Amino acid sequence: MENPWSMPKALEQSWLDTLIDLQLNRYPDSVAIELVQRLRAVMEIPDESAIMLGNGSDELIQAILMAIAGNGRTVLAPAPSFVMYEVLARACRLSYVGVPLRQNFTLDMPAMRRAINTHQPAVIFLASPNNPTGTVYQQAEIEEILNLAPGLVVVDEAYHPFVRPESESVIARLADNPDLIVMRTLSKVGLAGIRLGLIAGHADWISELDKLRLPYNINKLTQATASFALDHWQVFQDQIGEICRERDRVYASLSSIEGIEAWPSDANFILFRISDDGATAIHAQLQARGILIKCLHRAGSAMENCLRVTVGRPVENDAFLKELSELLLR
């Protein structure tokens, strides 16, 4: 789920100029103070909230799980959701509970209430918009989960920049919820190659999590590139706007194709289902034609016969829709 556009040519030389004077024989700023300040301003993170940077979101998820790991402790998340919550929870020898979403991929709040009461999770992960469904959870639902949760609640807003019309970020709730952590990343907006994620939360929590952060985890090239990008943030915002317009066009086209059920998305991808048990075959045939999308099919699961396509450039989206339509007409 990458941004299909690279940095505009008009900016490339200016970006390279910022790298020329970096002393690569010296260690980077261990806490990236300048970059943290820029991220705080651009993402409107409250001054009273602390920030910790990670080598992508995965490192931050791992740090959270390592911090709360202990005998009998449980991690809880809606299902399906980002696979690394479960992978890293099990790697940390934690129990993992996935609470099935409704058929339309919204939260099943009665089921969430029962699961929280039964399992008393040490941490709850909520990806909003959710991966792989593209669903945004309601603010009232998140608020209720915050009130019910006996431990941490981590709201993963990796895809929040693609929400249209723009909705309020849970970042605004940080000051009133000491057990809330919000996670963001620059990967989806056009900087996947520099691997930069962040979490924001109460200073006491971030201080403890920071003890598990490896020294110098954010290198100089990443710090300089991210700072440059944040200085030119409108360029990336414009690209996001184009992705959202293309997303809506692709969704409309998919919805009009017989044999496909597509779901509205607030992310930069679209989840859809192929009828007649054809997802695996269609995925392989698309790949043979040079089009790679994600096969999520698992028999008997909520993702049965489901595929997920990342929104690309218009020419890429047109090629995908053309090839898919031709395959389904066979």
What's the CATH code of the domain at 163?
3.40.640.10
Residues 101 and 250 grouped into a single domain:
no
Q: Are residues 155 and 260 in the same domain?
A: no
How far is 204 from 99, CA to CA, in rounded Å?
A: 29
Total number of domains in the chain: 2
Same-domain pairing of 62 and 157: yes
Q: Where are the alpha helices (DSSP H) in the chain?
A: 9-20, 33-43, 57-68, 83-91, 109-119, 139-148, 203-210, 220-231, 233-255, 279-288, 314-329
Q: In this structure, are 311 and 165 located in the same domain? A: no
Listed residue (142, 10, 8, 154) closest to 76, CA to CA: 154
227 lies in the same domain as 239:
no
Domain ranges, residue 300: 235-329
Q: Are residues 101 and 246 both part of a single domain? A: no
DSSP labels for 274-320?
Answer: ESTT-HHHHHHHHHHTT---EE---TTSTTTTEEEEE---HHHHHHH
Question: Do residues 176 and 305 share a domain?
Answer: no
Tell me, yes or no, whether 301 lies in a domain.
yes
Same domain, 61 and 144: yes
Answer yes or no: are the C-beta atoms of 238 and 308 closer than 8 Å.
no
- Same domain membership, residue 113 and residue 250: no
Buried b (16+ CB within 10 A) or exposed e, 275-309: eeebbeebbebbeeeebebebbbeeeebbebbbbb
3 falls within a domain: no
User: What is the C-alpha to C-alpha distance for residues 142 and 307, in angstroms, rounded to an integer?
Assistant: 27
Residue 102 lies in a domain: yes
In a domain, 2, yes or no: no
User: Per the domain annotation, does 15 fall within a domain?
Assistant: yes
pLDDT digit of tens for each residue in the chain (330 aa)? 999 999 999 999 999 999 999 999 999 999 999 999 999 999 999 999 999 999 999 999 999 999 999 999 999 999 999 999 999 999 999 999 999 999 999 999 999 999 999 999 999 999 999 999 999 999 999 999 999 999 999 999 999 999 988 778 999 999 999 999 999 999 999 999 999 999 999 999 999 999 999 999 999 999 999 999 999 999 999 999 999 999 999 999 999 999 999 999 999 999 999 988 889 999 999 999 999 999 999 999 999 999 999 999 999 999 999 999 999 987
